[in-house]
Amino acid sequence: MSINILMPALSPTMEEGTLAKWLVKEGDKVNSGDLIAEIETDKATMEVEAVDEGIIGKLLVLEGQDSIKVNAPIAVLLTDDEKISDINIENFETNEVNTNQVDNKTQSNAENDIPQISNESQIQKITNLEENGQVNAHESTRLFITPLAKRIANQRKINLNSVNGSGPNGRILKKDVENFQPSNIVPITEDKLSSNNFELVKNSSMRKTIAQRLVKSKTEAPHFYLSIDCNIDQLLKARTSINALSNGNYKISVNDMIIKATSASLLKVPKANASWENENTRYFKNTDISVAVAIEGGLITPIVKNVETKGLLQISNDMKILAEKAKEGKLLPEEYVGGSFSISNLGMYGIKEFAAVINPPQGCILAIGSGEQRTVVINNQIEIATMMTVTLSCDHRVVDGAVGAEFLSQFKVFIENPSLLLL
Amino acid sequence: MNNKIFDLIVIGGGPGGYVAAIRASQLGMSVALVEDKHLGGICLNWGCIPTKALLRASEIKHMLDNVEEFGFSVSNIKMDIKKITQRSRKVASQLSSGISHLLKKNKVKVFEGFAKIDKNSDQSKKIIIKTKDGTITEFAKNIIIATGAKSRNLPFVKSDGINIWDYKTAMIPEHLPSSLVIIGSGAIGMEFASFYNDLGVKVTVIEALPNILPNEDDDISNIVKNSFAKRGIVLKTNSSLKSVNINKDTVTSEIIHNGNSEIINSEKVILAVGIIANTQNLGLENFNIKIDKGHIVTNEYLETAEKGIYAIGDVTGGPWLAHKASHEGILCVEKMAGVSNLSPIDKSSIPGCTYCRPQVASIGLTEKAAKSKSLNIKVGKFPFIGNGKAIALGDSEGIIKTIFNKDTGELIGAHMVGPEVTELIQGFSIAKKLETTEHELMHTIFPHPTLSEGIHESVLDAFNKAIHY
């Protein structure tokens, strides 16, 4: 019995993904657990393992093919002594209907705002949900196209993988190529570029997810902002003495200490450690801190989990590994899906202060400005201190002004008295 | 009271209607067909088919007249026009009874009578059928109007079946007239001109436009013009008919040519000036059905502005050809049944054939039309005089002309005149449907020796690669 390898749902928000790279080719034997492909999701590039063993009979999607719907077949695994010719490659309409249904489910999940964290258990490795032997002819590696359509597509440099065929069995006809919307063409033809000095870059699935989630956040979550100045001289002093004894084994950053201080403040003000779920508000008992990390083409928020149980060293190590994985696009979904509170730090760029967009469904995000020497008045004296301005963006549905303010004042206490973090 | 509601009732049993009915039945619909006169319609009874039987007779006459070239001598050849027309009628009736059998086999209920449609409910329409035994009322969810067309008269001259013939009377002459004036040089006019000329009748063709076969490519029209002229057919192009007067034994036609009046006397006149759609007395006024220039307006899937009422074939917009009607019938019914992957008819891919001698067949745009669309084109021409099979047949008059889009290699048009070109044109139809470019046609192996090699050579010529020319 042949098994369809389906596009896995690698995160609860994932509706479609890009097949970044095949790690196997047709005819390869695979065992359960072998890596077969790299898939670029809205968040990261992930490796996919085979669940069953068998021979790769057919790769149904091309490397680089994007917008592959979750649960669409991407390859056919032959078990026992099957041949590819045994597979019944037809009935693609029925299959399309299946895919659509799955699609709708995914969508409605997203719309119902089922919290990400509770969906973690649903994260799937490759599973063969159906063994119906149906293969989507549309996504087969063989391209059905008339000679004329092919020539016109070549002349216009149209990527045929993006063109839907309207002819028999999805064959691409002249009119399909001619009616193809050039806005989807990447890269745009050179002659179009010559008169205008710009470059069109196709939006990656990550960019689209960022767009979708942040628009959702800004349109649905009523943001308000609270700022506070923190004197970080004590914190810097503590950091210097901690790092002085490291013998090069570790290097605690200000950011690591901010993560810890955030966690400690959330424990003091648990009402700020919350997310909005329409019917309910979820108050978290642990502190999973999402930390925004800029990566090529976007950003991602890997999570330092259960920070309340971790010391600075562990936080620092966790952060280092997560940041590295993020930059390589290798974060696992459980490493970035969920989180109870976010931090975004642009201090290293000299940004004095800024207001961040909340990462839904979380209730707050803390924006960290740079530490800088400012003149401050202490006991009627003008003095110089290293100051850092932080701004808390709150979703007013979850966190009211007083709660946010209470959190910030606690945060200020911890930052200015770092020894309290030892408690 | 009959409570049955048919899924579909087709009005008209011509090549559009009966094909639609059979296809609908295949798709599981309950279907009835209403036909007033003959199953098979004009095409089969008074059009395509019986005229081909007549033209076969005139072709044989032409061969008999030229047997010496092939080493024969015959004498005392007698011709009986009655027998010629009788054979033509026999062919038609044989096919018509075949349609009746096909409909029965496909469980299509046939009503003989004239249908009129009326509103019934949101879900169904009422069809009142006047039969020779009285009036019946039936109901249907969907209706296809496939009532065809009839020949057009001119304001000052109508066919009377005696001196002024329409296509029908021209097909069953009591005796051969000594001379004929044919008004109109479309396919019908040219076929009758060819037929009667071969049988020895003095024929004059009057055409208002500058070219005979005005829908064909100019090169093709010119070859037919020269060929007809050589046979003694008088062609009056750029000539408008001013009046027709019926005398005791003759008909006098007055034409205006280049501003000058000219009188032509003939024994009979054939009116072949086009068609008018049969839209009268159908009850269309009871519905929101639009009519433009006499023809029912439909969308690309043949539905009228009234939901559930469709129209196909000659009663709708042109080209008015049987194969277009049949194709529309199938498309319309499949759309109705929700068949997927359908696409509307591409009118630039409907072949047209004229069975005069020499035969004419074409598909797609003429050179002039392609140029008027500012298309960058390549044109190939191959004369049958360069084709071995044509020479062996003793019939090497004519050419195959192909027109390609220079930029994309798309086959834009193909125009042929010569031996059996009506049988050759389907190759181009397939090529167009499959969207081949010149590359596929050039690399197709054509059998030798055949007339079809001319297709290959014409394509090669368009790209300056012809071998035998």
Residues B261 and B394 in one domain: no
Using the beta-carbon criterion (under 8 Å), do A174 and B340 form an inter-chain contact? no
Where is the domain boundary, B250, B273, B296?
Answer: B273
Query: Nearest CA to CA, how far is A292 from chain B (Å)?
Result: 48
Contacts with B408 from chain A: Cβ below 8 Å: 148, 151-152, 155
Q: Which of A308, A396, A397, A409 is catalytic?
A: A396
Contacts with B439 from chain A: Cβ below 8 Å: 147
Q: Which of A24-38, A125-139, A293-307, B180-194 has the highest mean pLDDT?
A: B180-194
Minimum Cα–Cα distance from B410: chain A residue: A148
Residues B170 and B264 in one domain: yes
Work out the average pLDDT over B317-337: 96
Residue A295: per-residue pLDDT: 86
Residue B185 lies inside a defined structural domain of this protein: yes
Residue B346 lies inside a defined structural domain of this protein: no
Residue B178 lies inside a defined structural domain of this protein: yes
Decide which of A225 and A204 is more confident: A225
Contacts with B437 from chain A: Cβ below 8 Å: 147-148, 151
Q: Which amino acid is at A111?
A: E
Split at pLDDT 50, 70, 90, the class of A83 is low
pLDDT in tens, B151-176: 999 999 999 999 999 999 999 999 99
Using the beta-carbon criterion (under 8 Å), do B439 and A168 form an inter-chain contact? no
Split at pLDDT 50, 70, 90, the class of A38 is confident
Chain B, window 396-415: residues with a beta carbon less than 8 angstroms from a chain A beta carbon: 407-410
Q: What is the 3-state secondary structure (H, E, C) of chain A?
A: CCEEEECCCCCCCCCEEEEEEECCCCCCEECCCCEEEEEECCCCEEEEECCCCEEEEEECCCCCCCCEECCCEEEEEECCCCCHHHCCCCCHHHHHHHHHHHHHHHHHHHHCCCCCHHHHHHCCCCCCCCCCCCCCHHHCCCCCECHHHHHHHHHCCCCHHHCCCCCHHHCECHHHHHCCCHHHCCCCCHHHHHCCCCCCCCCCHHHHHHHHHHHHHHHHCCEEEEEEEEECHHHHHHHHHHHHCCCCCCCCCHHHHHHHHHHHHHHHCHHHCEEEECCEEEECCCCCEEECEEECCEEECCEECCHHHCCHHHHHHHHHHHHHHHHHCCCCHHHHCCCCEEEEECHHHCCCCCCCCCCCCECEEEEEEEEEEEEEEECCEEEEEEEEEEEEEEECCCCCHHHHHHHHHHHHHHHHCHHHHHC
CATH of the domain at B402: 3.30.390.30
- Nearest Cα to Cα of residue B328 among B341, B340, B310: B310
Residues B142 and B283 in one domain: yes
Contacts with A168 from chain B: Cβ below 8 Å: 341
Chain B interface, best mutation among A90, A92, A95, A148, by max B CB count within 10 A: A148
Using the beta-carbon criterion (under 8 Å), do A146 and B435 form an inter-chain contact? yes
CATH of the domain at B51: 3.50.50.60
Using the beta-carbon criterion (under 8 Å), do B409 and A168 form an inter-chain contact? no
Domains and CATH numbers, chain A: 3-139 (2.40.50.100), 147-194 (4.10.320.10), 207-422 (3.30.559.10)
Contacts with B407 from chain A: Cβ below 8 Å: 155
Residue B395 lies inside a defined structural domain of this protein: yes
In this model, does residue B222 exceed pLDDT 50?
yes
pLDDT in tens, B429-442: 999 999 999 999 99
Query: Nearest CA to CA, how far is A70 from chain B (Å)?
Result: 25
Residues B17 and B144 in one domain: yes
Told to judge if B415 belongs to the known catalytic residues of this protein, a careful annotator would answer no
Decide which of A202 and A418 is more confident: A418
pLDDT in tens, A375-395: 999 889 999 999 999 999 999
Decide which of A20 and A373 is more confident: A373
Query: Nearest CA to CA, how far is B457 from chain A (Å)?
Result: 20
Q: Which of B341, B343, B436 sits opposite A148 (nearest CB)?
A: B436
Long-range contacts of B224-233 (CB under 8 A, 24+ apart): B224/B190, B224/B356, B224/B358, B224/B360, B224/B417, B227/B357, B227/B358, B227/B397, B228/B193, B228/B194, B228/B197, B228/B356, B231/B197, B231/B198, B232/B197, B232/B202, B232/B203, B233/B193, B233/B194, B233/B197, B233/B203, B233/B204, B233/B205
Contacts with B438 from chain A: Cβ below 8 Å: none
Q: Which of B341, B435, B440 sits opposite A174 (nearest CB)?
A: B435
Residues B52 and B103 in one domain: yes
Using the beta-carbon criterion (under 8 Å), do B434 and A93 form an inter-chain contact? no
Residues B108 and B84 in one domain: yes
Structural domain boundaries, residue B184: 164-273
Residues B215 and B322 in one domain: no
- Phi and psi, residue A39, nearest 5°: -120, 130
B435 in contact with A, Cβ within 8 Å: yes
Residue B343 lies inside a defined structural domain of this protein: no
What's chain B's average pLDDT?
95
Query: Nearest CA to CA, how far is B395 from chain A (Å)?
Result: 35
Residues B18 and B30 in one domain: yes
Residue with tokens 């200490």: A257
Residue pair A236/A292 in contact (Cβ under 8 Å)? The answer is no
Residues B265 and B117 in one domain: no
Q: ipTM of this predicted complex? A: 0.82
Residue B347 lies inside a defined structural domain of this protein: no
pLDDT in tens, A342-373: 999 999 899 999 999 999 899 999 999 999 99
Contacts with A163 from chain B: Cβ below 8 Å: none
Residue B102 lies inside a defined structural domain of this protein: yes
Contacts with B340 from chain A: Cβ below 8 Å: 93
Number of domains in chain B: 3
Q: Which of B101, B257, B439, B448 is catalytic?
A: B448
Minimum Cα–Cα distance from B439: chain A residue: A147
Work out the average pLDDT over A21-40: 85
Global model pTM greater than 0.95: no
Interface residue ranges in chain A relative to chain B, Cβ cutoff 8 Å: 93, 146-149, 151-152, 155, 166-169, 173-174
Query: Nearest CA to CA, how far is A63 from chain B (Å)?
Result: 28
In this model, does residue A104 exceed pLDDT 60?
no
Residue B157 lies inside a defined structural domain of this protein: no
Split at pLDDT 50, 70, 90, the class of A259 is very high
Chain B, window 326-385: residues with a beta carbon less than 8 angstroms from a chain A beta carbon: 340-341, 343
Residue A207: per-residue pLDDT: 86
Residues B138 and B11 in one domain: yes
CB under 8 Å to B101, separation ≥6 — which residues? none
Residues B199 and B121 in one domain: no
In this model, does residue A190 exceed pLDDT 70?
no
Minimum Cα–Cα distance from B405: chain A residue: A148
Minimum Cα–Cα distance from A94: chain B residue: B340
Query: Nearest CA to CA, how far is B410 from chain A (Å)?
Result: 6
Residues B430 and B298 in one domain: no
Cα separation, A33 vs A164, in Å, equals: 34
Q: What percent of chain A lies above the pLDDT cut of 90? A: 42
Q: Which of A151, A166, A169 sits opposite B437 (nearest CB)?
A: A151
Using the beta-carbon criterion (under 8 Å), do B435 and A147 form an inter-chain contact? yes
